[in-house]
Amino acid sequence: MGSQGGWGQSKDFLDLVKSIGETRSKAEEDRIVMNEIEILKRRITEPDIPKRKMKEYIIRLVYVEMLGHDASFGYIHAVKMTHDDSLLLKRTGYLAVTLFLNDDHDLIILIVNTIQKDLKSDNYLVVCTALTAVCKLINEETIPAVLPQVVELLGHPKESVRKKAIMALHRFYQRAPSSVAHLLSNFRKKLSDNDPGVMGATLCPLFDLIIADANSYKDLVISFVSILKQVAERRLPKSYDYHQMPAPFIQIRLLKILALLGNGDKQASEHMFTVLGDIFRRCDPSSNIGNAVLYECICCVSSIHSSPKLLESAAEVTSRFLKQSDSHNLKYMGIDALGRLIKISPEIAEDHQLAVIDCLEDPDDTLKRKTFELLYKMTKPSNVEVIADRMIDYMISINDNHYKTEIASRCVELAEQFAPSNQWFIQTMNKVFEHAGDLVNVKVAHNLMRLIAEGFGGDDEGADSQLRSSAVESYLRIIGEPKLPSLLLQVICWVLGEYGTADGKFSASYITGKLCDVAEAHPSDDIVKAYAVTAIMKICAFEIATGRKVELLPECQSLIDELSASHSTDLQQRAYELQTVLGLDALAVETIMPSDASCEDIEVDKSLSFLNGYVQESLVKGARPYIPESERSGMADISNFRSRGHHDSSTHGLKFEAYELPKPSVASRIQPVPLATSKELVPVSQPTYPQEMSQAASMPSVPETGPSELKLQLDGVQKKWGRPTYSPTVPSNSNSSSQKAVNGVAQLVVQGTVGPKTRDVSYDSRKPQVEVSPEKQKLAASLFGGSSSKTGKRPTSTSYKTTRVHSHAAEKSQIPTATVASTEHAAEKAPQPPPPDLLDLGEPTPGYTVIDPFKQLEGLLPSDASSVANSGVSASKSSDIMSLHAESPMSGLIGTVANMGPTNLDSANLLSSLSNLANRNVHGGPAAMQVAPVKKGPNPQDSLEKDAVARQVGVTPSGTNPNLFRDLLG
C-alpha cells in the first residue's frame, strides 16, 4: 500500500495540513484554523453533499478539533455518518464520534440504535467497529441496551470479535460493576477459549476482578500457572512470539495476576515457584521485552510468599539492571525492583550502594525521583539525616510544585519518624517550611505544633522543655527573615506564644516586640496576624498570672488599636479579648489562660445540660419547645440527604420503585438490582428500549431529558419523604474521637524514636578520606552503613573498615564478626562462575570503581616505579589496607610478604596475585591466609610475591569490569 494512496483526501485538506505545518506562530495557526472552521460550517450545511465530500469534512473536523478548536457544530453530521451502509463511511463516522463525544453527550442516544444494529451485522468488521464504539460511548445507563448483543458475540466464530467482545464487557465492568455482575463467570469460561489471543484478552478483566477480590479466584491459580508454563515453554504458535519471546504480554499479565493471588498465601505461592524459576532462566536479558518480563517476575517474587532461591534470582537480575551503565530505563527498573526487594530482605540494598548513589546524582529527573522513593523506603534512624538533607537539597532545586509538595511531605514524615535529635528535627522542619513554604499541607504545621507541645520523650519533661526552648531559640533567629511562608509564621507565632517566656531566657517584652514585628510585616495576612495577636495575649496572660505587671509596648498598643478597627471580625474579636485580658486580675487570667495547657483535653458538654435550668424556666414562662432540625419537615437540605443516602440507602422507610416504573433501564441504574433479577432485567428492557430509540430519532431532546427529569423528581421525593435522622452531633462526636486517636498515634511514633544513638557510627564514617571518589564513599557509608552487622558483609570496602578501626574500642569487637560474615559471604558466592580465580575480582568492591585496570596493567609491565606513580591515587588506599591489617594478628606476616622483591611480571601471574589479594581482603584471617594461596594460586610462594608487588603498587581489584579480566585470561 502506498503511503498516501487509498485514503482519499482532497487538495483542500492537504493544503490545510500543509499551511498549518508551515505556520510560525500559534496566532497564525489559529487564524488558519478559524478560517477553516468558517468554511466547514458553510459547506457542511449545504444540501446534497456527496458522501465522499462529507467524509472528508468530517475528517477535517476531527483534525480541527485535535488542534484544540471547537467543532461541535459538526457532531451531528458525524452521528449521521454512522448510519451509512458503506463500511468506509460508517467507520469514519464512528471514529469521529468516538473522538468527539463523551459518554453522556446528548447525541449518544442517537447512536445507540445504530450500534445495536451493527452489533448484529453479518460483516464482522462492522461488528468490530461497533464494539470499538461501544467501549467509548456506552455509559451506565445505556449498557443494558447493548449488553445482550455483546454477550452473544462472546460466541462469535471470529476470534478477533470474541476478543473485542470480552474487552467491551471488561469496559462495562469498569464503568458499572453491577451491570455485568451476573456475567462474570463468562470471563472464567473464556479463559479456556481455543484461541490464545482470546485467552490473553480475558486476562485483562480477570486482573481487575482479582484486584477487587483475590479470594474468590484462588482456585484459578493452578490454571494460571499451567498457562504461564505453556507460554514460557513456547507451546503457543510462532505468531505469538515477539522479538523471540513467546507472548511476552500474556506472560506479563499472568505474572501480575499471580503476584496478586500469591500475596500472603503460602500455598498458592508454592505452586508458582517452579514456573517463576523457569522464566528467570529462560528470559532473554538482552532484549527490552525480555527485561520487561524479568522485571515482572521480580515484582511477582516480591509480592508472593517468597522462596530464598527465587529471591536470589530476583536479586541477581536486579543487580544486572542496576549495572547497565548505558540504559537509564533498566536502571530505573532496577531501582524500582530494589525498592520492592528490600521490603523482604533489606540487606540486598547494600550490594548496590554505589549504583544507587550514581542514580541519585544522575541528570535524569525520573531516575532521581525513583531513587528518592527508594531512599524513602529504606530510611532508618541511622541514615535519616543524610537522606533528609539530600531530599531538601533536591526539593530546593526543582520547580515542579506538585513534586515539591510530595517530597516536602515525605521529608516531614521521615523527620517525624526518625529524628535523631530535637535540634535536628526543628532545623529540618524549618528548612522544609522555608523552601516548600505554602505547598506544605496545613496538617504538617499542626503536627509540628503538637509535637512541640507534647514533646518527644513522653516521660522525660526535661527533654520536652529542652525541645521547646530550642524551638523558641531557632524561631527567634529566623523570625526576622523576609519572605517566610505564612504557614511557618503561624507555627512560629504559636510556639513563641506558648513557650516564648517559659524558660525565662527571653523577656516578655522582647517576645511581644518580635510578634508585633511579624504582624506589622505581614499586613495582608489575616491568619498570621491572628496568630500573632493570640500569641501576644498568651504571653501577657502568663505574665499577669505570675503576678508581674505588664507594660504594653507602644507598638503593641498601636497594633491592638489597628486591629480593633479591622475589617476582619475575627481579628477585631481577638484584639478586644486581649484588651479585656489585660484588665483582669491574676486569678481570673490564670483560669482563662492556664500556662502550658495546650495539650489538656477540653471537655465539651455536647448535650448542653448546663442550660437545662434555663430552658425549664423559659418553658414555664410559656416559650415554645425546641423542635430538632431533623423534625422540621422540608428543611433538610439536599446535601444532608445525599451524604446520608450514600451510607444507608437501604434503610429508607419508604420505597420509591413506583415512581420508576416507566423506564426499567433507569430502575436498574438507580437501584443496584440483585443478581438473580438483573438477569431477567436485560431482556425485559429490550422490547421497551428500541421503541424509545425510534422516538428519540424523531425528536432528540425529549427522551434525553426524560430520564434526567425523572431522576430529579426522585430526588425531590426522597428529599421530602426520606427518613429524617440527620443529627448534627454525629460529626462533632467522631471528630473529637478521631483527634484523640491521632494523638495516640503520634505518641506511639514518638516513642519508637526515642534513642537513635547509632547515628554516631554513620557520622564517623563521614570523615574525609582520601579515596577514589571520597564523596560517594562517604555518602554510601552514611546511607547504608548504619547497621553495623549488615555492613560487615562489605569487607572489601576500605572506607568502612578504616572507620571501624579509627572508631572507639567498643567497635573493634565487631571486626571478628564482620570477617566471619565476610568469609561466609565469599564462600556463598564461590561456586557460581567457572574460573574460580576470577571470582573474587568479580566481587564488587565499591571503593575503586574509577581505577582503570588496563591502565594499571600497562603501568605495571615496564617497571615497578612508574606504576607506583601511575596509580598514585591508590597509594593512600593501600596504606589504609595496611593499617587495617596491622590491627589484626596477621600483620607480621604481611610485613614479610611485603618485603619480598618483585620478579617476573607477566600478566597472568599478576592476575593471580590480584585475585589472591582480593582473596585475602575478603578472608582477612590467618587461617584463610594459609588456605587461599594453596587453593587458588598456581604456586603459593609465587602468588605471595605477586601479592606483595600488587600491594606495593597499590593495585586493587576492581569490580566494575570483571569481563576485562576474563578476556585477558582467554
Partner 1 sequence: MIRAVIVMNTQGKPRLAKFYDFQPAEKQQELIRSVFGVLSSRAENVSDFVEADSIFGPDTRLVYKHFATLYFVFVFDSSENELAMLDLIQVFVETLDKCFKNVCELDVVFNFNKMHTILDEIIFGGQVLETSSTEVIKAVEEITKLERASNTISLVPKSVSGWQAR
Contact positions with partner 1 (CB under 8 A) in 62-81? 62-63, 65-70
Q: Is residue 288 part of the contact set for partner 1 (CB under 8 A)?
A: yes
Min CB(454)–partner 1 separation in Å: 32
d(CA 477, CA 498): 17
User: Under rule CB under 8 A, which residues in 681-700 are in contact with partner 1?
Assistant: none
User: Under rule CB under 8 A, which residues in 721-740 are in contact with partner 1?
Assistant: none
User: Under rule CB under 8 A, which residues in 478-517 are in contact with partner 1?
Assistant: none
User: Under rule CB under 8 A, which residues in 355-394 are in contact with partner 1?
Assistant: 362-367, 369
Min CB(21)–partner 1 separation in Å: 7
CB nearer to partner 1: give 19 or 427.
19
Dihedral angle at the C-alpha atoms of 910, 912, 913, 919, nearest 10 degrees? Answer: 150
Q: Retrieve residue 883's grid coordinates.
A: 593499617
User: Under rule CB under 8 A, which residues in 759-778 are in contact with partner 1?
Assistant: none
User: Under rule CB under 8 A, which residues in 253-272 are in contact with partner 1?
Assistant: 256
CB 792 within 8 A of CB 822: yes
| Residues in Cβ contact with 961 at an 8 Å cutoff, skipping those fewer than 6 apart | 853
Question: Exposure of 210 by Cβ count < 10 A (0-12 exposed, 13-18 middle, 19+ buried)?
Answer: buried
d(CA 496, CA 512): 9
How does DSSP classify residue 240?
G
d(CA 77, CA 58): 8
Q: Is residue 170 part of the contact set for partner 1 (CB under 8 A)?
A: yes
Size of the chain, expressed as the number of residues it contains: 970
Q: Match 594461596 to its residue by C-alpha cell.
A: 933
Min CB(483)–partner 1 separation in Å: 25
Q: Is residue 95 part of the contact set for partner 1 (CB under 8 A)?
A: yes
CB nearer to partner 1: give 4 or 524.
4
User: Under rule CB under 8 A, which residues in 128-147 are in contact with partner 1?
Assistant: 132, 135-136
CB nearer to partner 1: give 211 or 586.
211
Q: Is residue 18 part of the contact set for partner 1 (CB under 8 A)?
A: yes
Q: Is residue 252 part of the contact set for partner 1 (CB under 8 A)?
A: yes
Q: Which of 31, 41, 52, 548 binds partner 1 (CB under 8 A)?
A: 52
The CA radius of gyration of the chain, in Å to the nearest whole number, is: 38
Q: Is 608 left (phi over 0), alpha (psi -120 to 50) or beta?
A: left
CB nearer to partner 1: give 247 or 667.
247
Other beta carbons within 10 angstroms of residue 959's beta carbon come to: 20
DSSP H stretches of helix in 500-585: 508-521, 526-545, 554-564, 569-583
Q: Which of 19, 160, 465, 630 binds partner 1 (CB under 8 A)?
A: 160
Q: Is residue 92 part of the contact set for partner 1 (CB under 8 A)?
A: yes
Q: Is residue 204 part of the contact set for partner 1 (CB under 8 A)?
A: yes
Q: Which of 12, 30, 83, 103 binds partner 1 (CB under 8 A)?
A: 103
CB nearer to partner 1: give 23 or 888.
23
CB nearer to partner 1: give 123 or 738.
123
Q: Retrieve residue 250's grid coordinates.
A: 500474556
User: Under rule CB under 8 A, which residues in 460-479 are in contact with partner 1?
Assistant: none
Residue 665 has φ and ψ, to the nearest 5°, of -65, -35
Q: Is residue 55 part of the contact set for partner 1 (CB under 8 A)?
A: yes
Min CB(950)–partner 1 separation in Å: 36
Q: Is residue 576 part of the contact set for partner 1 (CB under 8 A)?
A: no
Question: Exposure of 964 by Cβ count < 10 A (0-12 exposed, 13-18 middle, 19+ buried)?
Answer: middle
Contact stretch for partner 1 (CB under 8 A) within 31-39, 50-58, 526-534, 638-646: 50-58
User: Under rule CB under 8 A, which residues in 208-227 are in contact with partner 1?
Assistant: 211
Question: Exposure of 639 by Cβ count < 10 A (0-12 exposed, 13-18 middle, 19+ buried)?
Answer: exposed
Of 127, 124, 121, 67, nearest in space to 99 by CA: 67
Of 392, 430, 411, 382, nearest in space to 766 by CA: 382
CB 306 within 8 A of CB 341: no
Q: Is residue 17 part of the contact set for partner 1 (CB under 8 A)?
A: yes
Q: Is residue 197 part of the contact set for partner 1 (CB under 8 A)?
A: yes
User: For partner 1, what does the binding mask look like between residues 332 and 351, x meaning CB under 8 A?
Assistant: xx------------------
Q: How many residues bind partner 1 (CB under 8 A)?
A: 88
User: Under rule CB under 8 A, which residues in 294-333 are in contact with partner 1?
Assistant: 295-296, 328-329, 331-333
Of 750, 795, 797, 801, nearest in space to 777 by CA: 797
| Residues in Cβ contact with 709 at an 8 Å cutoff, skipping those fewer than 6 apart | none
CB nearer to partner 1: give 105 or 778.
105
